[in-house]
Amino acid sequence: ALNPGANQTYSVTLSLTRGLIPMATEWDALAKHINGTERLDETAAELSTEELQQQQAQLLQGQSFQNLVICNENTVPADYAALPAYVWSNYVVGDVFTAPPAMFASGAACNGRGPITKNPTLNGSGLEVRPLQINATGDPQTPYRYHGEMARQMNSHVVTVHGPGHGHVAAGNEVVDDIVVDYLRTGTTSVNSAPGLH
């Protein structure tokens, strides 16, 4: 309000923070970016106009695909009480943390489109190999407290990673990588937990 035209979405550092917080292996690089000793956005400056346009097109495709899946299988009615937060976060301050959740919670993301299909029912009973499910206790995007229902429906073997992170395979956690490689070779694992990266 005191700085007309200011918008948090223009902040490279804030956008990088939102994107990298779920990946513990990137925290050091993010800290160096914030303190000015290493710039994470320098590679973007080195890209040609054509390469930047290609990156933007890929980003738009990914966002459009996610929107189609969420809206086509939506099981949650719009919460119109979230509309003020949606407007404020998206059009006034550009809060990169609250804008996406408010957009979906308010129903604005689906723009009045109703679901055209139901969520598929998960059922692992017909699988020859028991699925491996990896969940972290500190995952900000898929909270650990919700992992049990999918594990029950799929009869998954759950490996709990004790720590932060969203996505753990080939992300710097050698213990998880070894578990996954062993599972891919044998179709099974006896491991139920792994340390997270801090």
Distance between CA atoms of 158 and 148, rounded to whole angstroms?
9
Measured distance CA(50)–CA(55) in Å, rounded: 9
Are 77 and 113 in contact, with CB atoms under 8 Å apart? no
What would the pLDDT profile of 78-134 be if each residue is shown by its tens digit?
Answer: 899 999 999 999 888 888 888 888 999 999 999 888 888 877 788 999 999 999 999
Beta bridge partners of 1: none
CA 116 to CA 57: how far, in whole Å? 26
Evaluate whether 155 touches 123 at the Cβ level (below 8 Å).
Answer: no
Tokens of 183: 């599972």
Q: What is the mean pLDDT of residues 154-161?
A: 96
Per the structure block, which two tokens stand in for 75? Answer: 């099981």
Instruction: Kindly list the distances between the CA atom of residue 195 and the CA atoms of 138, 159, 172, 173, in Å, as whole numbers in the listed order.
Output: 12, 10, 12, 8
Instruction: Say what the pTM is.
Output: 0.69
